Amino acid sequence: MVSRVIPVDRFDLVIFGATGDLANRKILPGLYRRALAGQIPDGSKIIGAARTEMGAEEFRAQVKAAIREHVEPAKIEASAVKDFLAMLDYVAIDAKGDGGWDELKTKVRPDAVNAFYFSVAPALFGDLAERLHSRGIAGPDARIVVEKPFGRDLKSAKALNRELAAHFDEAQIYRIDHYLGKETVQNLMAVRFANILFEPVWNAQFVDHVQITVAETVGVGGRGSYYDKSGAMRDMVQNHMMQLLCLIAMEPPYHFDPDAVRDEKLKVIRALQPVAPQDIVRGQYLARGDEAGYLEDSEDPNSKTESYIALKAHVANWRWTNTPFYLRTGKRLRARTSEIAITFKEPPHSIFDEAEGEWRENVLVIRLQPNEGMNLKMMIKEPGPGGMRLVQVPLDMSFAEALGEEADITDAYERLIMDVIRGNQTLFMRGDEVEAAWAWTDPIIEGWEARGERPQPYDSGTSGPDDALMLMHRDGRRWREIRE
Ligand code: NAP
């Protein structure tokens, strides 16, 4: 199967923060890959903006180096790189200053799709929005893309929403959560809502529990003081994991339409119960060999910020009452992996004796990384003449194999930026969703802060703190192994 590349309309994309890490590692290499794939029409322009004074040629040299560093060598084609660099331009602008805006205005054409990517600290979102609007650069059809973190609690998220809403309609605001751009995540909606097979069993009657795991092997070294103000709950659970939970738990939208999908996700977030303290485990990784522990990395020897969190969440509605959702995420764990596992219940009656093999539950595993794909663990008869013996086997579908080359290269950022140009907000968080997610998260964080709790230390390279195992053991369940 070969995936199709559908070109978008001609656009002018302004990237604020074009000299920064995200722009150089993800956004610009991603745009190059889309250009190489033939998705970007001739005449489109990508305009870098940041405070650094430089000309367009210097910016092109920077982007050329970024492509060399971050695009796989097989995708670097001299003529494609040349064509891509020819699309680039640069304007030196301080988000808080007055210089550069008139020049930018001359470069953004009203007859192309206009998009403005705020790849800068959230403290600058309001300044950028105000200037783009007041100087007549962004018209009513322009789109703005904002990066995470979108606030650090409900109050700050509301303030950011207000700052943006003062100048842009909600329909123009694209809040990026790159997890939503992953092939598998979108496929989750296709699997649930384009097949009759799963939906009838997608509820508390048939699903025993759901596990969502996002495990990283890296620590926070290098950005420790930034991470220390955030922690795993704010950095991963409130946004990425919450979005995954929503896609698993939501009701079928009446149509695959941005607001219909986001309305259903919002209902899930609002149905989340407060989490009891005994259903939360927080951890901090310890040093290993010459790798520093969290307390050294964070530069605060007394830090109480968690680099690991596991918690049990409940969605209080008809579909999910009594089906727990176990979420865990952490740094310096055994392997780098992200997956959602839906574990189904036992059949109501077994016609097989124990001698015929041990029954194991059906599990639908949705892998986000590495090797995006799905896998359904099923019981079958062991092949061969040895009589009836049951074994559990995975029905495996790796998207890279199923879809050919294109499947594993379309990075989430690339897909999401193309959606911005198309004007499709389905995979972007709406303002009320973000606020509802913080409204659930805030009391959890306030709870452990009020109790003065310290995270439990855990050894690097393991599955996290022991208490996290107990969180499931006490319910007679266990975590899936963390492995690639
Ligand atoms: P970064 O490397 O520190 O880059 C920040 C960018 O903002 C630079 O281009 C900087 O350029 C520009 N900038 C700073 N102050 C400015 C001002 N007053 N006016 C105009 N431009 C200004 O940060 P980053 O890692 O790229 O992250 C950018 C945003 O994405 C942040 O909100 C971050 O939280 C978010 N994010 C990043 C990642 C990631 O992997 N890096 C992942 C998810 C989200 P000058 O100094 O030249 O002005």
Q: Of 125, 147, 169, which closes a domain?
A: 147
Shared domain for 143 and 230, answered yes or no, is: no
Q: Are residues 230 and 348 in the same domain?
A: yes
Is the residue at 312 inside a domain?
Answer: yes
pLDDT tens digit string along 4-59?
A: 788 899 999 999 999 999 999 999 999 999 999 999 999 999 999 999 999 999 99
Mean pLDDT (whole number) for 117-144: 96
More confident residue, 3 or 150: 150
What is the longest distance spanned by two Cα atoms in the chain? 81
119, 145, 160, 218: residue to mutate for ligand 1 pocket, most atoms within 8 A of CB: 119
> Given pLDDT bands bounded at 50, 70 and 90, which one contains residue 166?
very high
pLDDT (0 to 100) of residue 3: 60
Asked if the model's pLDDT at residue 309 lies above 70, the reply is yes
483 found inside a domain: no
- Ligand 1, residues 51, 94, 120: which to mutate, most atoms within 8 A of Cβ? 120
293 conformational bin, left if phi > 0, alpha if psi -120 to 50, beta if neither = beta
292 found inside a domain: yes
Average pLDDT over residues 332-340: 96
The amino acid that residue 61 corresponds to is: A
Q: Tell me, using a 6 A CB cutoff, whether residue 465 lines ligand 1.
A: no
Q: Based on the domain organization, do 316 and 224 belong to the same domain?
A: yes
Neighbours of 58 (CB within 10 A): 13
Question: pLDDT grade, residue 184 (50/70/90)?
Answer: confident
Tell me which DSSP letter residue 124 carries.
G
Residues above pLDDT 70, as percent of the chain = 97
Residue 344 near residue 361 (C-beta atoms within 8 A): yes
pLDDT given for residue 198 in this prediction: 92
Angle between helix 431-450 and 154-165 (nearest 10): 160
CA of 173 to the centre of ligand 1 (A): 19
Tokens read off for 161: 């929403």
> Can you tell me which residue has the tokens 């200053």?
97
Catalytic status, residue 240:
yes
* CA 118 to ligand 1 centroid distance, Å: 8
Q: Which of 240, 255, 314, 349 is catalytic?
A: 240
* Cα–Cα distance, 120 to 146 (Å, whole number): 8
Identify whether residues 296 and 377 lie together within a single domain. Answer: yes
Positions of E strands within 238-321: 280-285, 308-313
Residue 169, in any domain of the structure = no
> What does the DSSP assignment read for 183-243?
HHHHHHHHHHHS-TTTGGG-STTTEEEEEEEEE-S---TTSHHHHTTT-HIIIIIIIIIHH
Across residues 426-445, what is the average pLDDT? Answer: 97
Ligand 1 centroid – CA 148 distance (Å): 11
Residue 101 is encoded by which pair of tokens? 């805006």
With a cut of 60, say whether residue 407 has pLDDT above it.
Answer: no
Residue 409 has pLDDT above 80, yes or no: no
Do 184 and 243 belong together in one domain?
A: yes
pLDDT at 2: 53
Ligand 1 atom index nearest CA of 178: 43
**CA quadruple 455, 457, 462, 465: dihedral sign:** negative
229 annotated binding-site participant: no
Q: pTM here?
A: 0.94
Report pLDDT digits (tens) over 363-378.
Answer: 999 998 888 888 999 9
Per the CB < 8 A criterion, the answer to whether 296 and 225 are in contact is no
Does the beta carbon of 54 sit less than 6 angstroms from any atom of ligand 1?
no
**Is residue 166, in this structure, part of any structural domain at all?**
no
Residues 259 and 130 in one domain: no
Contact yes or no for 49/100 (Cβ under 8 A): yes
CATH code: domain of residue 400: 3.30.360.10
Question: Which of 234, 232, 229 lies closest to 215 in space, CA to CA?
Answer: 232
Q: Is 168 part of any domain?
A: no
Nearest to 188 by CA among 283, 261, 288: 261
Is 93 in the same domain as 242? no
Q: What is the mean pLDDT of residues 85-99?
A: 97
Task: Specify whether 456 is located in the same domain as 371.
Answer: yes
Pocket of ligand 1 contains residue 19 by CB under 6 Å: yes
Report the separation in Å between the CA atom of 458 and the middle of ligand 1, taken as the mean of its atom positions.
32
Residue 218 CB neighbour total at 10 angstroms: 11
Determine, yes or no, domain membership for 257.
Answer: yes
291 Ramachandran zone, left/alpha/beta (phi>0; psi -120 to 50): beta
Residues 462 and 357 in one domain: yes
Would you state the structure tokens that stand for residue 283, as one six-digit string? 């951890």
123 lines ligand 1 (CB under 6 A): no
Mean pLDDT along residues 138-159: 96
Q: Which residue range is the domain that position 60 belongs to?
A: 11-147
Instruction: Compute the mean pLDDT over every residue in the chain, rounded to the nearest whole number.
Output: 94
| Number of structural domains in the chain | 2
Residue ending a domain, choose from 93, 123, 147: 147
Indicate whether 241 pLDDT > 60.
Answer: yes
Mean pLDDT to the nearest integer, 393-404: 75
45 and 114 within one domain: yes
> Would the pLDDT of 116 be above 70?
yes
**Percent share of the chain, pLDDT over 90:** 82
Residue 347 lies in a domain: yes
Poorest-pLDDT segment among 98-107, 239-248, 329-338, 349-358:
349-358
Q: How far apart are CA 313 and CA 338, in angstroms?
A: 18
pLDDT at 306 > cutoff 60: yes
The residue-averaged pLDDT of 413-421 equals 95
User: Does residue 131 sit in the same domain as residue 203?
Assistant: no
Average pLDDT on 413-420 reads: 94
Q: Compare 161 and 356 and report the one with higher pLDDT.
A: 161
317-353 b/e with 16+ CB inside 10 Å = b?
Answer: bebbeebbbbbbbbbbbbeebbbbbbbbeeeeeeeee
Domain boundary among 106, 130, 147: 147
Residue position matching structure tokens 């989750």 = 188
Residue 108: which CATH number? 3.40.50.720
Residue 344 and residue 256 in one domain: yes
pLDDT at 417: 96
